[in-house]
Structure 1
Amino acid sequence: MGRTNPTYRGFLDGYEGEFDDYRRALRRRHQADFDRLFDGARAFADAAGYANHLDRDTLVLVSMLLAHEERLREQSDEIARLRAAVEAGDEAPDSVADERRTDGAQ
Structure 2
Amino acid sequence: MGRTNPTFRDLLSRIEDEWGDFRRALRRRHQPVFDRLFTYAREHADAASHLNHPDRLAPVLMSVALEQEARIDELEERIETLEQQRDDRE
| TM-score (ref. length: structure 2) | 0.88
The residue aligned with 2:69 is: 69
Q: Which has the larger radius of gyration?
A: 1
CA distance in 2, matches of 1:15, 1:77: 34
CA distance in 2 between partners of 1:80 and 1:54 (Å)? 41
Q: Does 1:22 align with 2:22?
A: yes
Aligned-partner Cα distance in 2 for 1:38–1:72 = 18
- Three-state SS of the structure 1 residue aligned to 2:14 is helix
Equivalent residue number for residue 34 of structure 1 = 34
TM-score by length of 1: 0.76
Structure ranking higher on relative contact order (CA contacts 8 Å, 6+ apart): 2
- In the TM superposition, residue 11 of structure 1 has moved relative to its aligned partner by 0.6
1:81 aligns with 81
User: SS at the partner of 1:5?
Assistant: coil
Task: State how far apart, in whole Å, the 1-side matches of 2:78 and 2:5 are.
Answer: 41
The separation in 2 between residues aligned to 1:43 and 1:71, in whole angstroms, is 14
Structure 2 distance, partners of 1:36, 1:26, is 14
Go from structure 1 to structure 2 and tell me whether the alpha carbon gap of 1:56 and 1:88 turns closer, same or farther (over 3 Å shift): same
% same residue: 50
CA gap 1:46/1:53 in 2 versus in 1, 3 angstroms: same
The Cα RMSD (Å) is: 1.9
